Amino acid sequence: MSFVRPEARRFLKRYRALMGAVAVALLGLYWALFSFGLLSMVGWALVIGAGLLALSFAQAALFGGGGEGPGVVVVDEGQIAYFGPETGGAVAVRELSELSYDARGDVPLWRLRQAGQGELEIPADAKGADALFDSFAALPGLSPERLIAVQRDAAGQSRVIWRKDARVAIDTSRRKPHF
């Protein structure tokens, strides 16, 4: 019997790395402000290092879907594998030719294309799907901010985010005309 609500448990699980980085940054800030000499310098180093980690962890937490969906995603040595209840497959990150995000259905999907293979569809909320963030962010020309923005703004749409041929990420922002 657990005394923690399921929503609170999911929140804590999703943001635990971020909370840990913030705790380390606060400890470093305490040392930096209330100590002298070497411990003060170590404190400032902790504040800077933990702050950078907190930024990275915050991006990953915003990207993750919670892990409550069908199937399991495994990212291992440059290969993304999805083991679902009805479908599955694997693609090499280096061999990806196109990455798109489809939010038209009940469950948003990541669509990965590799030349010579069929399309691999991964539910955004599959268990382990948060590991896709680092793999996608490593694609040339694709920034972590763009990945998060696409997830946030793609309600009811399907968008191609990245193509290998383009050598740069596709601009998915909606520009307003300047008058």
Residues 75-121 pLDDT 10s: 888 889 999 888 888 898 888 899 888 888 888 888 999 888 888 89
Q: How confident is the model at residue 64 (pLDDT cuts 50, 70, 90)?
A: low
Element (H, E) at 93: none
58 in the Ramachandran plot: left (φ > 0), alpha (ψ -120 to 50) or beta? alpha
Q: Are 149 and 173 in contact (CB under 8 A)?
A: yes
Q: How far is CA 45 from CA 35, 55, 162, in A?
A: 13, 16, 36
- DSSP at 176: P
Tokens of 67: 């892990």
pLDDT at 179: 40
Higher per-residue confidence, 142 vs 165: 142
CB-based burial of residue 70 (10 Å sphere; 0-12 exposed, 13-18 middle, 19+ buried)? middle
| Count of all residues that appear for the chain in the document | 179
